[in-house]
Amino acid sequence: MGFLVGVTAGVLAGVVGHRVLRALRRGATVHMGWCAGGVGALWSVIAWRFDTGSLPWWWLPIPATVAWFGVLLVATDLRHSRLPNALTIPAYPALAAATALAASQTTWQLAASATLGALVLYCLYAAIHLVRPLAMGGGDVKLSGTVGAALGAVGWPAVLVGTTLAAVLTLTLQALAPKRTRTRWRTGIPHGPGLLAATFLLTTFPGPTIPP
């Protein structure tokens, strides 16, 4: 039952996300199927994890938030080579609310860990951007705070694993992307997709750090 609810709710949320992208000031042309199908697929995985007792109900908003913003941002980054402020900035309060809910059901140490994770990863990415702007775009820096918070909520090992996995996924994208697609990425290989994919995996499969 939860799986079907997850799929249905995810598809509807993806449709809403597609409309959000179209309404952006600069606009983002992304096929509705990518948004609806992407969010629907990821939310169905989260629902399956809940159905099997692997994730508690109070944790679900964290991976669900990462999935919704992640699908929209990945689609936009791959298609237009940018991470819009209209998505990266609202992701902060959205994830903060999800983290606050989780912390209220467990311990506020979770919120402290998420906050510290956000600060550390933001400072790291900002430093890389200052030294090598072409290696780390401004959109990636703004995204890093949200990602750091989500990974920090899982635990400090997740921050290290997540950033490492993001780098591996980015290199894999560079190796597998068709030449025509790489040519369109005039500012280099997008790092956002790898970072968001790694964060979704670690928040949906957090291991024993999140009690069922």
Assign 3-class secondary structure to 60-129.
CHHHHHHHHHHHHHHHHHHHHCCCCHHHHCCHHHHHHHHHHHHHHHCCCHHHHHHHHHHHHHHHHHHHHH
For residue 190, give Cα distances in angstroms to 76, 134, 139, 151: 10, 11, 10, 20
CA distance 128 to 208: 32
* Model confidence pLDDT, tens digit, residues 24-60: 777 667 778 888 999 999 999 999 999 999 999 999 9
Percentage helix, strand, coil, to 5, in the chain?
A: 80, 0, 20
Question: 155 in the Ramachandran plot: left (φ > 0), alpha (ψ -120 to 50) or beta?
Answer: left
pLDDT of residue 197: 96
So what's the pLDDT on residue 136?
A: 79
Containing 197, the helix (H) or strand (E) segment is helix 192-204
Structural tokens at position 153: 């909520």
Encode burial over 110-141: b for 16+ CB neighbours within 10 A, e otherwise. Answer: bbebbbebbebbbebbbebbeeeeeebbebbb
Predicted TM-score (pTM) of this structure:
0.91
Give pLDDT, residue 181. 57
Please report the pLDDT score of residue 209 as a whole number.
Answer: 72
- Each of the 212 residues of the chain gets a pLDDT tens digit; together they read 667 888 899 999 999 988 888 887 776 677 788 889 999 999 999 999 999 999 999 999 999 999 999 999 998 888 877 888 989 999 999 999 999 999 999 888 999 999 999 999 999 999 988 988 777 788 899 999 999 999 999 998 999 999 999 989 988 876 766 666 555 555 567 788 899 999 999 999 998 777 66
Closest CA to 46 of 60, 31, 32, 25: 60
* Residue 99 pLDDT: 96
Do 91 and 69 form a contact (C-beta atoms < 8 A)? yes
In this predicted structure, what is the pLDDT of residue 170?
83
Please state the domain extents for the chain.
2-209
